[in-house]
Structure 1
Amino acid sequence: MNLALFDLDNTLLNGDSDFEWSQFLIRIGILDRELFEVKNQAFYDQYKAGTLDIHEFLDFQLKPLSRHSRKTLDTWHAQFMRQSVMPMVTQASRDLVQRHRQAGDVCVIITATNSFVTAPIACEFGIEHLIATEPEHIEGEFTGRVADVPCFREGKITRLTNWLNSHGWTLESFENSTFYSDSLNDLPLMCKVKHPVAANPDETLRAHAVQHGWDIINLR
């Protein structure tokens, strides 16, 4: 039995769903462009540079969820999937996931982006298991706060370990464990698996992959 872990943004997707969700809300007039667009871009730049304060970002990203009903948010998300997400889904990514599924591997998307944004995307790829940052909710309505450990950097290791434990597994339970990611932020988890793969890597991850002999692939 093998484990296949997939980062989502800029890995399976040719773009960033977290960033695009805020841009979508700005575009349909839910968020004020002047107040939010510059801040959204700044957080994205910090993420790419490896300097993001995840708690500061989540306060920015999750607060809008608390201002609207889940029914309304779900309606917007369906539009977001059509207009913003589907154009970011590449055939190469679909084929990669399908190869692992056909091999009978346990497939998991593990992403820092919150589960409200990412759960429908995981379904689009046919991936049953999702480990994501969890927005807190009460009776189905979001509070604007984060629940559990954010699924970011070392937090991905914590969340994956807890998820594996809940299934009675460890990484050592699998003959092979593969993790596909584009980002330097995922180096902590990439160093834990047996087969790290740099997919569409940023410059820092590419250099690390070359130095350590990791596979490098292009899904775009």
Structure 2
Amino acid sequence: MDLVLFDLDNTLLAGDSDFEWAQFLITKGVLDREVYEARNQAFYDQYKAGTLDIFEFLDFQLKPLARHSRAQLDAWHQEFLDTRIRPMMTPQSQALVKEHLESGAIVAIVTATNSFVTGPIARAFGIPHLVATVPAQENGAFTGKPRGIPAFKAGKIERVEAWLESLGLCWESFEKSSFYSDSHNDLPLMNKVNNPVAVDPDDTLRAHATAQGWPVISLR
């Protein structure tokens, strides 16, 4: 049995769902453009540079969830999925996911983006498991804070191991473990698996993958 893990943003998707969600809410008038657009871009730039403070970013990203009912959020997300996300689901990424699912592997998306944003995207890909940053809830409403450790950098390893344990599994349960990612922020988890694959990688990850002899592919 194989384990196949996919990063989501700029890996399976030809774009970033976290960034696009905030831009979508700005376009809808839910978030103030003057206040939020520059901050959204700044956080995205910090992520790409490897300097992102994940807790500062989550405070920015999760607070809007706490201001609206779940029914309203779900309605916005359906529109977001149809207009922003589906165009970023490339034929190549969908074919790769299908190939792994049909092989009988255990397949999961592992992403720092919160599970409210990414859950419907995982379902759209047909991927049965999602390991993501979890937004805290009270009485069915989001609090604007994360629950537990964010699935970011080394936190992805901790989240994956907890998920595997919940299935009665561990790393040693698998002959082959793969992780597909575009970002140097994912090097901790890429170094943990025995088949790391760089997907349309950033410059730092491309250099590392080349030095290590890792496969480098494109899903664009």
Q: What is the alpha-carbon distance in structure 2 between the residues aligned to residue 215 and residue 139 of structure 1?
A: 46
Who is 2:125 aligned against? 125
The reply on whether 1:7 has 2:7 as its aligned counterpart is: yes
Return the letter of the residue paired with 1:67. Answer: R
Aligned to 2:146: 146
**SS of 2:112 mapped into structure 1:** strand
Q: How does 1:98-113 map to 2 (within 5 A)?
A: 98-113=98-113
SS of structure 2 residue aligned to 1:152? coil
Residue 155 of structure 2 is matched in structure 1 by 155
Measured in 2, the distance between the counterparts of 1:140 and 1:130 equals 20
> Could you state the TM-score of these two structures normalised by the residue count of structure 2?
0.99
| 1:16-61 C-alpha deviation (Å, 9 max, x unpaired) | 0000000000001000000000000000000001000000000000
Q: Quick one: distance in 1 between partners of 2:185 and 2:7?
A: 11
Name the aligned partner's letter for residue 209 of structure 2: A
Equivalence for 1:185: 185
Amino acid at match of 2:164: L
Mapping for residues 43-192 of structure 1, pairs under 5 Å: 43-192=43-192
* Matched residue SS, 1:179: strand
Q: Structure 2: which amino acid aligns with 1:154?
A: A
Q: Which sections of structure 2, spanning at least 5 residues, go unmatched?
A: none
Name structure 1 gaps, 5 residues minimum.
Answer: none
- Once the two structures are TM-superposed, the CA of residue 138 in structure 1 deviates from its matched residue by 1.2
Residue 21 of structure 1 corresponds to 21
Q: 2: CA distance between counterparts of 1:198 and 1:172?
A: 23
Q: For residues 217 and 140 of structure 2, what CA distance do their matches in structure 1 show? A: 39
Shift, 1:139, TM fit: 2.2
SS at match of 2:192: coil
Cα distance, 1:140 vs structure 2: 1.7
Shift of 1:167: 1.2
Q: TM-score, normalised by structure 1?
A: 0.99
What is the alpha-carbon distance in structure 2 between the residues aligned to residue 207 and residue 62 of structure 1? 33
CA offset digits 1:43-87 (Å, max 9, x no partner): 000000100000000000000000000000000000000111011
Q: Deviations over 1:124-163 (max 9, x none)?
A: 0000000000000112210001001100000001101111
Distance 1:82 1:126 in 2: 16
Distance 1:92 1:117 in 2: 22
1:203 match: 203
CA distance in 2, matches of 1:171, 1:213: 22
Moved over 3 A (4+): none
Q: Distance in 2 between matches of 1:87 and 1:183?
A: 21
- Displacement of 1:165 in angstroms is 1.1
Question: How many equivalent pairs are there?
Answer: 220
Report SS of the residue matched to 1:191: helix
Per the TM alignment, residue 166 of structure 1 is displaced from its structure 2 partner at its CA by 1.2
Per-residue displacement from partner, 1:164-184 (whole Å, max 9, x unpaired)? Answer: 111111111101000000000
